[in-house]
Structures are given as structure tokens and as C-alpha cells.
């Protein structure tokens, strides 16, 4: 289908474009961006959308989604979560392996791809196992995972047996030109903690995780990177010390990128003072000083992407005492609203905020998406910037309702999401 989107405010952080213009979509790709008098003569749209008053920007690319299926279907399914993603302006999800949904070889990669192709709501980029069964002992078949189309490998939050194994894993990944997604945590220092080590953990009497458990792991990985030359992406930064280390590593020319979860930019350790299990996350919510350092890291380019770290859970997973609940937030549907809140508060410009959700995460996984240029995939979001709405559990599309953001007010919502030029979500009121 050929589509003409007219009179939209076209925002493309990759090029810095921000103007009212028309976008021509043909055969799933962007044919041209042109004013009325310059639409290609050969272009015959089968549908024209008057987008006056709306924003048009690239589909969101989320580097961290725990999609659960296959293996944890009682928490969520690919159908439920990709539907939630499309309605939230997300067009690419990075599938993260976990012990119950391990990606040891090409078979689960192909299964995920086949299920997702049938659903047709988003693109899924799979991150495979760094070690066999994520046990941290034997290396996975990274060559096979690379051939199967994995965009990287990781051990997630599971520990690697020792630094010798980690060095070999980095060397093996480098051989196959794979990015290693590192979740920085020194498990011995973490010691089974569940909140940030500080005033709040002392007051509540909860086992704590010091910020050093993260920064030590970052420092160790950087030291190994210097030996191996591996391309590493650091996942879910939470501590000021980690931001400083990665800023220096980038200045020194390391092939390093990093992301932060959107909730870490709005919540702190103070949000767990009433033992709220919905604020039990990994890494834990840290201090206000850490939050400010994360924001500064986004501004100066130290942190490349904002992600959802979407972890849907069944109701029972959050009903035990705080330290016995499962960590994580169902956060696909708040990724874009929370990021745009940073624009309202003046913490980021609109170009910066959308860049952290589009072309910058795209570069981490070597995707051609995230840009509004001729020839790019027509993964697009039409957005109404003026609507006001309240986030409610009842309207969530994800199977997981575990969020601390219920009742929060947001400005702006997704009107329509297109994947390769095909509409995969359209808000009923806008039909």
C-alpha cells in the first residue's frame, strides 16, 4: 500500500529535521519527504492521511524487553506484549533471554521469529546466550547464534563463574563480531540485596545492594575490553560511578554504549519507603544524586539509549513481603510517556529524548530503522502532543499489571503506529 502522510510535524533526531512536511511511503519504505509541490509524480497514494497538528517520528526501538514466551507464558505472551508495544509506538523490541526462556541455539530464535511473523505487530531482535543455559560456565555457540540472526549475546543478571570465563566469552564474541550486552553486577557485593544501600535501606531494615556492586562490575568489564577489543553495551545503568567510568571509556576510544531504564529517571530509593513491591526493581532505585548523574549522562551522550526494561509479572509475583517479590516493572506502555516527561521538565530537548528512543538504540543493534530518510523502513509513529490522559491498570494491554505509574498523568498519546508501512495500531477515537 502506498501512503501519503500530509502536513505532519516531521521530527527526525538522526538528521535534526523538525518541520511541517509530507511523507510518502511505498512498498514498506519511505519514498520521499517532500512539500506538496514536490511529491514524486510517479507516486500514487492509495491512502492519504491528514496529519495536521500531529507529530510524525520514527518508531521506538526498545533495547530491553522480557517477553516471557516461550517458557513463561503465565506471565505474558508474545501476542499480548507485541500488541502493547504497537499501541505504545514501539516498533522494535530486543528479546532478552532468561533461564526459563534460554537462547542457546538457533531453534528458539527461529521459533520466536515464526511466532512474531504471524503476529505482525513489531520487529523482534533476539539477544542470545553468552553462556550455555546462562549458567556462566561454558560458552554458548555464538557462531550459530550469529548465523541465526541474533544481534548480540548476554548472560543477563546471571553471574559468570569467574573473570577467566568472561575474558574468553568476550574474545569469542569479538571473533564473531557480536556485541556483548553486559548487566553490570558484582554478585558477591550484592549479597542477595533488594534495595539501594543507603538511608532508606537502613531505615527499612532491608538487605541492600551498594552502588559499588555495579561500578566494580563496570570497571572489570572495561579492563577486559581493553584486552579483547570487544564491543560492549552496558545495560540498565543506575549509579553515578558507572556513568563516570563509561564517560571516560568513551573518551578513551572504547567501543562501548550504554542504556538506562526509563523508571530510573523518575523514581529514587525514596519511592520504596512504604515497602512498595511495585518499586522492587533490578538494579534498585538509587539516590537522587544517582538519578541526576543518569540525566547528565543522557545529556552529554555518555548514555546512548532509554529503554523500558519491560518485565511483566502475574499478580502473585508482587504480593509477598518486599524482598520476596519478583523484581521488575511492566513498562512498555510507559516508555514513551516517561521519556517525553523529561522534555516537559526541561531535562532533555525533544530531539535528545526521541534520539534516545530511535536512531541511537538502532545503532547499538546495527538496525537501519530509527530514521526518517528516503529508503529507510517505514516504521512510523503519528502522535498527538496535546492530549491529556491518566495511565490506568484497566487500560493496560500488557498481561503484566505490575507498575508503580498507575494514576500518573501524561501529555500526548500515540494515534497510529506503522510497521513497514502497514498500520499495526490505530486509536479508535482517531478513526
> What residues act catalytically?
309
**Distance between CA atoms of 143 and 146, rounded to whole angstroms?**
5
Among 4, 149, 119, 121, which Cα is nearest to 59's?
121
- CA–CA separation, 195 and 190 (whole Å): 10
- Find, among 424, 397, 365, 398, the residue nearest to 121 by Cα: 424
Q: Return the CA Rg of the chain.
A: 21
Pairing mode, strands 232-234 and 179-182: parallel
In 3D, which of 423, 339, 1, 309 has the Cα closest to residue 431?
423
Amino acid at each position: 500500500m502506498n501512503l501519503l502522510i500530509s502536513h505532519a510535524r516531521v521530527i527526525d533526531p538522526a538528521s535534526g529535521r523538525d518541520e511541517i512536511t509530507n511523507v510518502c511511503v511505498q512498498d514498506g519504505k519511505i519514498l520521499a519527504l517532500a512539500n506538496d509541490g514536490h511529491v514524486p509524480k510517479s507516486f500514487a497514494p492509495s491512502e492519504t492521511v491528514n496529519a495536521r497538528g500531529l507529530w510524525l517520528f520514527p518508531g521506538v526501538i526498545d533495547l530491553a524487553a522480557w517477553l516471557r514466551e516461550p517458557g513463561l507464558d503465565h506471565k505474558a505472551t508474545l501476542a499480548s506484549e507485541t500488541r502493547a508495544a504497537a499501541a505504545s509506538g514501539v516498533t522494535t523490541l530486543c528479546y532478552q533471554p532468561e533461564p526459563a526462556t534460554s537462547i542457546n541455539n538457533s531453534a528458539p530464535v527461529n521459533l520466536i521469529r515464526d511466532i512474531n511473523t504471524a503476529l505482525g505487530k513489531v520487529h523482534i531482535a533476539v539477544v542470545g546466550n553468552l553462556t550455555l543455559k546462562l549458567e556462566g560456565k561454558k560458552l554458548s555457540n555464538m557462531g550459530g547464534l550469529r548465523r541465526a540472526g541474533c544481534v548480540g549475546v548476554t548472560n543477563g543478571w546471571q553471574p559468570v563463574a569467574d573473570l577467566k570465563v568472561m575474558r574468553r566469552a568476550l574474545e569469542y564474541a569479538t571473533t564473531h563480531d557480536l556485541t556483548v550486552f553486559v548487566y553490570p553486577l558484582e554478585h558477591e557485593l550484592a549479597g542477595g540485596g533488594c534495595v539501594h544501600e543507603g538511608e532508606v535501606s537502613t531505615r527499612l531494615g532491608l538487605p541492600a545492594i551498594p552502588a559499588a556492586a555495579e561500578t566494580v562490575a563496570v570497571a572489570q568489564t572495561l579492563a577486559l575490553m581493553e584486552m579483547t577489543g570487544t564491543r560492549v553495551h552496558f545495560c540498565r545503568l543506575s549509579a553515578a560511578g558507572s556513568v563516570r567510568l563509561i564517560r571516560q571509556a568513551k573518551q578513551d576510544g572504547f567501543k562501548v554504549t550504554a542504556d538506562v531504564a526509563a523508571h530510573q529517571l523518575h523514581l529514587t530509593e525514596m519511592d520504596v519507603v512504604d515497602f512498595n513491591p511495585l518499586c522492587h526493581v533490578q538494579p534498585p532505585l538509587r539516590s537522587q544524586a544517582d538519578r541526576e548523574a543518569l540525566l547528565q549522562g543522557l545529556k552529554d551522550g555518555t548514555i546512548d539509549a532509554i529503554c523500558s526494561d519491560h518485565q511483566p509479572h502475574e499478580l502473585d509475583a508482587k504480593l509477598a513481603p518486599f524482598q520476596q517479590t519478583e523484581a521488575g516493572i511492566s513498562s512498555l506502555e510507559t516508555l514513551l510517556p516517561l521519556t517525553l516527561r523529561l522534555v516537559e521538565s526541561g531535562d532533555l530537548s525533544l530531539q535528545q529524548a526521541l534520539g534516545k528512543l530511535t536512531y541511537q538504540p538502532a545503532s547499538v543493534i546495527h538496525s537501519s530503522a530509527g530514521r526518517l530518510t528516503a529508503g529507510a523502513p517505514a516504521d512510523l509513529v503519528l502522535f498527538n502532543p496535546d492530549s491529556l490522559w491518566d495511565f490506568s491498570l484497566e487500560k493496560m494491554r500488557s498481561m503484566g499489571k505490575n507498575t508503580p505509574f498507575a494514576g500518573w498523568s501524561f501529555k500526548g498519546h500515540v494515534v497510529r503506529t506503522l510497521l513497514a508501512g502497514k498500520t499495526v495500531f490505530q486509536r479508535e477515537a482517531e478513526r
